[in-house]
C-alpha cells in the first residue's frame, strides 16, 4: 500500500513537471508577443490536471490588500463571465489558467486584458491601468493559493439540518440506534471532533490515509465478524479473513485459520461499516444534514 501510494505521487510529480514546462512555454510566448508589441494574442492552451498540480508547487506571498482591491475590480468587470470566484462561468476557469499561474503583476495578463479576445467573446479593457491589472493579478493568484493550500481551506457551515428530525431518523428509519447510543459510544461525540471530521466519520467510519500521513491517533476499525454454519449444523465463528463466491476463511477465537467451500455452508457476515455504506445509497441530502445536526447536539 505504501509503495503504491508513493509510486502514484512520483508519477503525478513527473506529470506536473512536464505540464509545467508546457505552461512555461505558453506564458513565455505571451510575454514575447507583448515585448514585440503584437496586438494579436495566441489562444490560451487548454488546461489539464497537470496545471493544477503545477500550481500546488508555488508558494509566493500574496499581498492581501492588493488582492482585495483586485477582487473589487474583477467582480463587476469579469465576474459575469469568469464567475465572481474566478472558477469560470460562461468563460473559462482562471484559477487553473496556465497564463494566470505564470503571470507576475500583470506581465502576462496585461496584454490579454487590454487587447481582449474578440474571437472568444472577451472584450478589451484598454482603460485599465498597470496598477489595476496588477491588483487583479494579485486577486487571481490569491484564488489559486486558496485552492492549493488544502490545510488552510475553511469548510462552510455544515450544521444546516433539523436536529429533531435527525434524532427521529437516527432512532427510526436509519436504524443507527441498533449499533450506537447517544449515551454510550456517541456520548459527547460533538466535543471530540470538529463538524467536518464528525461528518466524515458519520459517512465513512474507517480511518483514512490523511489521518495516518499526519500522524493523528487512529483507532483501528472494528474487525468484520463471520459465522459459518456447516451442513452438520456445527457453527464456526471468528474474524473474517476472506470471502468470495467460492470460499470463506476466518480466524477463530483460538487463532486457528479455518477455510470452507461456499458450496456446503451458509455464511453470516457482520461488518460494522456495512450499515454506514448501505445508507450512502439511500440517504437524502436532507437526512444527512438532519443526522449531522443531531450529532452536533451530543456535547
∠ CA 205-165-281, nearest 5°, is 45
Q: What are phi and psi of 114, to 5 degrees?
A: -70, -35
Average pLDDT, the chain: 78
**Cα 48 to Cα 20, 66, 86, 197, 245, distances in angstroms:** 11, 28, 17, 30, 41
Q: Pairing relation of β-strands 265-270 and 225-230?
A: antiparallel
**DSSP reduced 3-state for 75:** helix
Q: Which helix (H) or strand (E) holds 269?
A: strand 265-270
CA 9/CA 64 separation, integer angstroms: 32
CA 112/CA 124 separation, integer angstroms: 8
**DSSP reduced 3-state for 183:** coil
Instruction: Going residue by residue through the chain, which has 299 residues, state the pLDDT in tens, using 9 for 90 and above.
Output: 444 444 544 444 444 444 445 445 555 555 555 455 444 443 443 334 333 444 444 455 778 888 899 889 889 888 888 888 888 888 888 888 888 888 888 888 888 888 888 888 888 888 888 998 888 888 888 888 877 766 555 666 678 899 999 999 999 999 898 888 999 989 999 998 888 888 888 888 877 777 777 776 667 777 889 999 999 999 999 999 999 989 999 999 899 999 999 998 999 998 878 888 888 888 899 999 999 999 999 99
CA 56/CA 58 separation, integer angstroms: 5
Q: Given phi > 0 = left and psi -120 to 50 = alpha, else beta, which region is 83?
A: left
CATH of 64-148, one of 1.10.260.40, 1.10.760.10, 3.40.50.2300, 3.40.50.620: 1.10.760.10
* Tens-digit pLDDT profile for residues 106-157: 888 888 888 888 888 888 888 888 998 888 888 888 888 877 766 555 666 6
CA 56/CA 51 separation, integer angstroms: 9
Cell of 57: 508547487
**Cα 242 to Cα 135, 251, 297, 299, distances in angstroms:** 59, 10, 39, 39
**DSSP reduced 3-state for 238:** strand
Cα Rg, the chain, nearest whole Å? 28
Cell of 73: 475590480
CATH topology of domain 225-271: SH3 type barrels. (2.30.30)
Q: What is the pLDDT of residue 248?
A: 94
pTM, full prediction = 0.45
Which segments of the chain belong to CATH 1.10.760.10? 64-148
Q: What is the pLDDT of residue 40?
A: 41
Which segments of the chain belong to CATH 2.30.30.100? 225-271
Amino acid at each position: 500500500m505504501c509503495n503504491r501510494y508513493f509510486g502514484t505521487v512520483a508519477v503525478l510529480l513527473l506529470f506536473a513537471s512536464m505540464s509545467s514546462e508546457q505552461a512555461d512555454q505558453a506564458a513565455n510566448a505571451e510575454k514575447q508577443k507583448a515585448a514585440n508589441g503584437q496586438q494579436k494574442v495566441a489562444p490560451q492552451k487548454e488546461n489539464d490536471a497537470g496545471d493544477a498540480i503545477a500550481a500546488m508547487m508555488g508558494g509566493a506571498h500574496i499581498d492581501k490588500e492588493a488582492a482585495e482591491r483586485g477582487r473589487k475590480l474583477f467582480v463587476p468587470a469579469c465576474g459575469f463571465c469568469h464567475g465572481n470566484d474566478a472558477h469560470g462561468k460562461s468563460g473559462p476557469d482562471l484559477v487553473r489558467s496556465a497564463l494566470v499561474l505564470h503571470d507576475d503583476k500583470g506581465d502576462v495578463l496585461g496584454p490579454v486584458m487590454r487587447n481582449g479576445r474578440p474571437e472568444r467573446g472577451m472584450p478589451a479593457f484598454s482603460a485599465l491601468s498597470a496598477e489595476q491589472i496588477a491588483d487583479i493579478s494579485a486577486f487571481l493568484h490569491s484564488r489559486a493559493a486558496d485552492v492549493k493550500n488544502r490545510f488552510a481551506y475553511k469548510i462552510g457551515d455544515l450544521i444546516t439540518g433539523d436536529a429533531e428530525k435527525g434524532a427521529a431518523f437516527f432512532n427510526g428509519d436509519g436504524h443507527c440506534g441498533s449499533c450506537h447510543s447517544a449515551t454510550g459510544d456517541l456520548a459527547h461525540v460533538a466535543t471530540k471532533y470538529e463538524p467536518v471530521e464528525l461528518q466524515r466519520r458519520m459517512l465513512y467510519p474507517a480511518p483514512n490515509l490523511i489521518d495516518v500521513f499526519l500522524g493523528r491517533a487512529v483507532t483501528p476499525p472494528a474487525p468484520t465478524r463471520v459465522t459459518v454454519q456447516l451442513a452438520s449444523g456445527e457453527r464456526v465463528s471468528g474474524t473474517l479473513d476472506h470471502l468470495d463466491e467460492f470460499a470463506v476463511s476466518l480466524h477463530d477465537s483460538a487463532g486457528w485459520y479455518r477455510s470452507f467451500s461456499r458450496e456446503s455452508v451458509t455464511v453470516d457476515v457482520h461488518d460494522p461499516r456495512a450499515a454506514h455504506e448501505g445508507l450512502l445509497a439511500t440517504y437524502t441530502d436532507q437526512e444527512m444534514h438532519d443526522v449531522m445536526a443531531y450529532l452536533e447536539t451530543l456535547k
